[in-house]
Amino acid sequence: MGTCNGKFGKVYQVREKATGTEFAAKVIRLKQQADRAEVEREVSILTQLRHPRIAQIYDAFYTANNEVVLVMEIVRGGELFDRVADENYVLTEQAVVMIICQLCEAIDYIHEQNILHLDIKPENIMCVSQTGNRIKLIDFGLARYYDGTQELRYMAGTPEFAAPEVIKYEQLDYSTDMWSVGVITYILLSGYSPFLGENVCETYCNVEKGEWEFTEEFDSVSEEAKDFVSRLIVYEKKKRMLPKECLAHPWIAKHRAKANLDTLLEKPAEGPAMDKKQMMRYNAKRKFRVSLRSLPFSWFFRGLFFCHA
């Protein structure tokens, strides 16, 4: 049927002959034995997860061509930022609340399953349809099991959305995912990325320093929204809100009931429209940067650059 290129292979739109049900088939080429272990971990994690805000896996199998096929729930609405930046989409602060509430619900669930996602970014948040604001979290290729006690250090992902402890190869925990939520919320509300530099090396340095401020675009954003962001983009990870605290925050809590009703999520959110010209510019530039994001962090720590205070 249809096909598109993904980060580690191709994704096909397929149909089951017996029922006519459509799925997304993610085909991953296995180049070495380590790839097989990575995919098997991802399948193990996905099989464990059953949540309305997470794209479901239905089957997985190997082919004779040294490939593995993941048969997934099909999500038709495209990447979150592409949808928000579309000229026909009306962006409101309440729409951002609805989106972030769903994201926090999904992360709360996976954390309860002792799983860290470790790659929360716009490309991994998909819209269910071309209407409304219903989303699903996808791509658990970098996810790790974590019970709160073991040593976990991992240097991979997307620098722009990665927490300082990832960049610095320090201990990770549940709060690592929450930094990424804060960065995504910041961008949705302003169209600016708080740590994005002119190049990858500068972005690393910006994240490592952890310094940021609200741009003038936040002048029209509610104090509750700014407080929410300020409690997530916190350098000291122990001070960051965790998912349940996010869901109890006033900015989210008063809209949480609505965010759990799919019928409401399929409609445009209420409230005054935000100026999204900057969001559209940001997203256009983002599309050019995606090709660099698959590079392992370790490549940039082999004497290529140094960050100075």
- Partnered with residue 4 across adjacent β-strands are 11
Based on the residue annotation, tell me whether 119 is a catalytic residue of this protein: yes
Angle at 141 between CA 116 and CA 111, to 5 degrees: 15
Q: 278 — phi, psi (to 5°)?
A: -65, -35
Among residues 108, 119, 139, 177, the one annotated as catalytic is 119
> Helices 174-190 and 277-289 meet at what angle, rounded to 10?
130
For residues 257-274, one letter each, b for 16 or more C-beta atoms within 10 angstroms of the residue's C-beta and e for the rest, the string is ebbeeeebbeeebeeeeb
- Partnered with residue 72 across adjacent β-strands are 24, 57
Chain centre distance of CA 175: 14
d(CA 28, CA 7): 9
Measured torsion, CA atoms of residues 184, 175, 106, 140, in degrees rounded to the nearest 10: 90
Q: For residue 52, how many C-alpha atoms fall within 13 Å in the half-sphere facing its CB?
A: 9
Q: What residues act catalytically?
A: 119
